[in-house]
A and B are shown apart, each in its own frame.
Chain A
Amino acid sequence: MDILVCVKQVPDPETKLRVAPSGKSFDTDGVKFTINNTYDEAMVEEALRMKEEFGFTALRVISVGPPRAEEALRSALAMGADEAVLVETPADLPLDPLLVARYIAAAAKDIPHDLVMVGRQAQDDEAGVVGSALGEYLDLPSYSFVTDLAPVPANHLLKMKRYVEGGEEVFSAPFPAVLSILKGAKDPRTPTLPNILKARKKPLKKIPAKDLEAKVSALQGGAKPTSDILAFTLPPPRAGAKMIEFQTPEEAAERLIKLLKEEARVL
């Protein structure tokens, strides 16, 4: 019983982004990329728990991206994944989440997967699309915003929880399946230094994207991005805070409510 987890390397949340000369993305020059993307880390931890507590045997990790994405894979290996696959894309290959899903699906043809897990969304573009798209391309059911995962491997059933508006669902479904993990049962472990060193010896296979092109082209949508980014802009600088003048706390509350209703329009 094998698990395949998908990770993405994203810019460090503390790094300052600039618009690229093309106006269609951020400039990767001088951007520090994280080794660990928060949502993926939570998901990898959950996948490790599946292996440690529910008898899954192998945990493989895959990423689609430029050579530097190897760092994200090494980090997952240091956390405890067994093997890694990097679908290496050239810097000028435009990717959108659907195309990424097609590359993963194409590579996954040769990677055993009883469970495919993704983070709830990438920390950078926050699209949250790859999971459900993978379900389509792999012809597997997919479930999003999953927490409290508990497989019953004997009957090939998963018991899980999903947050829904105003409450939560507990349900069961068969696997193989694709799961997008909202939150793991445990805080993600920090890879220890000895595990970082051990990860160096774990297998990491690099597949040039063009080697998968034929398989990707055979999937609906083909080898080109489905969507086209027209423009990338940064949020406007935040306006300064507004201080409320008041004599009594009641007056302060009254003025605040008025501002929230009339100016901020959040009430």
Chain B
Amino acid sequence: MPVDFELSTEQKELQELARRFARDTMAPRAAQADRTGEFPEEVYREAWKLGLMNLNVPTEYGGSGLGELDQCLITEELAYACGGMTTSISANCLALQPINIAGTPEQKERFLKPFCSDYHLASFCLTEPSGGSDVAGMKTTIRREGNEYVVNGEKVFITNAPHASLYTLFATIDPARRHKGITALVVPRDSPGITPGKDEDKLGHRASATSSVTFDNVRVPVENRLGAEGEGFKVAMNTLDSTRTPIGALATGIARAALDHASKYSLQRTSFGKPIAEHQAIAIKIADMVQKVDAARLLVWRSAWLADRGKPVPLESSIAKCFASDIAMEVCNEAIQVFGGYGYMKDYPVEKLLRDAKLTQIYEGSNEIQRMVIAKEHLKRVG
């Protein structure tokens, strides 16, 4: 039996835990956090208490060491209730993954353990004002002085930056060396010279905080470097390879929420004397939404399944992320159409879903970049 779509009892339990937390703790606060842009930290603390944060931290450092499929199951459930909160909850996985990948046992002990014994947030600092897609073009520099590095530069759009206690930072020893100069450092937030910018006012994911961070002669001990000088690009790419599939799960969760809202509404709302679900134009929309959500989940599961078997998944994770985020936009858009004028109103839940879905096409590698990767990987296998 080479393929099996049945989840284990334990996976069902993880899913149920996430579903309950999403329903009981996230969903009731989602609309307000979306309206005000507040950062519902009590929700994140509760997520931490239940073990729903830091899913990828290995057990020897106090984490749960979950595989990708388990992470995806949880992420889909959380995103079903609120995409923005899910972004902030999963940002720790993104920020700590470079330490998982490139940290020495001593660094893991020093940096990962505190996240499992107490509630802390971490941020992944890669994107710069001059461009997120062209990672090798980054301008934030590090200069070695004795046993320290001195960091100067600016990062933008950094999730959780104002609230995080630890940053994993990617900066270059020499911009001219492009990707060969990039180096990864772990930087405590309280190092002198770090200033997070204002909380950005965003279209969606408004329960998540996003801001720039400036580094002004920030001194970081050399023992905080992850891997060797110049290995940072690889660390960043390997990190994104493992977090891309869960972003697909996040998008699937948003899309599933839109599908559920639209399905229920189509059975309740009547026009011309029957439920609108019985008008074929609406039924076809529902049918298309069902197919898309299902296909997205299967692509996410496949990519996670392969990754859990130790296979590199540059192609599969890009397909999963790109497809799931694109269909999330389509499904949320159609959900609003099913709701008609009500869907356009903030009193109804579907317009938020569309705004939240949009980000999944942009962050963690825009879909244009995903398509470049997909074509390149595919053609490599053909030619």
Contacts and interface: CB of A to CB of B under 8 A. Distances in A.
Interface of A: 35-36, 70-71, 74-75, 78, 190-197, 199-200
Given A71-B9, A192-B49, A193-B50, A36 B14 contact: no
B52 interface: yes
B64 A191 contact: no
Contacts, number: 44
B13 interface: yes
A35 B50 CA distance: 17
B13 A194 contact: no
B12 A191 contact: no
A191 B9 contact: no
Contact of A190 (B14, B20, B64): B20
A35 B13 contact: yes
Interface string B38-77: 0000000000011110010000000010000000000000
B10 A196 contact: yes
Contact of B50 (A70, A75, A192, A197): A192
Contacts of B17: 190-193, 196
Nearest to A68: B9
Nearest to A194: B51
A193 B10 contact: no
Contacts of A70: 9
Interface residues of B, number: 15
Contacts of A74: 9-10, 13
Interface in B9-46: 9-10, 12-14, 16-17, 20-21
26 contacts: A35-B12, A35-B16, A70-B9, A71-B12, A71-B13, A74-B9, A74-B10, A74-B13, A75-B16, A78-B13, A190-B20, A190-B21, A191-B13, A192-B17, A192-B51, A193-B17, A193-B52, A193-B55, A193-B64, A195-B51, A196-B10, A196-B13, A196-B17, A197-B10, A199-B13, A200-B10
A188 B12 CA distance: 19
Given A193-B51, A196-B17, 4 more contacts: A35-B12, A36-B16, A190-B17, A191-B13
B212 to A, nearest CB: 33
A200 B49 CA distance: 20
Nearest to A72: B9
A75 B13 contact: yes
Contacts of A199: 10, 13
A120 B64 CA distance: 35
A63 B14 CA distance: 21
Contacts of B52: 193
Nearest to A78: B13
Contacts of B13: 35, 71, 74-75, 78, 191, 196, 199
- 4 shortest interchain CB distances as A-B pairs: A193-B51, A192-B51, A196-B13, A194-B51
Q: Which of A74, A190, A192, A193 has the most CB of B within 10 A?
A: A193
By secondary structure, the B interface counts as helix
Contacts of B20: 190
Contacts of A200: 10
A136 to B, nearest CB: 33
A70 to B, nearest CB: 6
Contacts of A78: 13
Contacts of B12: 35, 71
A196 B50 CA distance: 10
A190 B50 contact: yes
Nearest to B62: A194
A260 to B, nearest CB: 28
Contacts of A193: 14, 17, 50-52, 55, 64
B14 A196 contact: yes
Contacts of A197: 10, 64
Contacts of A190: 17, 20-21, 50
Interface string B122-147: 00000000000000000000000000
Contacts of A196: 10, 13-14, 17, 51
Nearest to B52: A193
Nearest to B21: A190
Q: Which of A70, A196, A199 has the most CB of B within 10 A?
A: A196
Nearest to A196: B13
Contacts of B16: 35-36, 75
Q: Which of A71, A74, A78, A190 has the most CB of B within 10 A?
A: A190
Interface in B168-209: none
B340 to A, nearest CB: 23
B119 to A, nearest CB: 13
B85 to A, nearest CB: 17
Contacts of A192: 17, 49-51
B270 to A, nearest CB: 13
B6 to A, nearest CB: 11
B246 to A, nearest CB: 15
Q: Which of A71, A192, A197 has the most CB of B within 10 A?
A: A197
A204 to B, nearest CB: 10
A266 B21 CA distance: 39
A199 B21 CA distance: 19
A73 to B, nearest CB: 9
A74 B21 CA distance: 19
A191 to B, nearest CB: 7
A194 B10 CA distance: 11
A75 B20 CA distance: 13
B64 A194 contact: yes
B273 to A, nearest CB: 16
